[in-house]
Copies of this chain bind each other. A is one copy, B any other.
């Protein structure tokens, strides 16, 4: 598929998809005319990238991480270096704290919403 379809199917802008490529997060074939052509699996890849961004990982770390993932049909292409594992472990702990903080914030919002509803 071409870039517009990928954008539409993932909800990510064309601009961002090109950016992902410059950051080494996403690869594409090129047509004879130089246009990007994506495989079907690019859809899942882009969604995953978005999730990792939302988790606060920066593109550089995502670029290191992605090749160490197990593909659905096999083992990882590369193995994570000990340094990367250390960094990812730190990220993991940060994500844990983030989830806890989010739960707190959600509770605050719930309380305000409930209080307002009670006053109607």
Residues of A within 8 A of B (CB): 48, 51-52, 54-55, 57, 65, 68-70, 75-76, 79-80, 82, 84-85, 88-89, 91-92, 95-96, 98-99, 101-106, 108-113, 115-117, 119
Contacts and interface: CB of A to CB of B under 8 A. Distances in A.
A95 B109 contact: yes
A57 B79 CA distance: 37
A117 B51 contact: no
B70 A105 contact: no
27 contacts: A48-B108, A51-B101, A54-B98, A54-B101, A55-B105, A55-B106, A57-B105, A65-B112, A68-B112, A68-B115, A69-B108, A69-B111, A79-B116, A80-B113, A80-B115, A80-B116, A82-B116, A84-B116, A88-B112, A88-B113, A92-B106, A92-B109, A92-B113, A95-B106, A98-B102, A99-B99, A99-B106
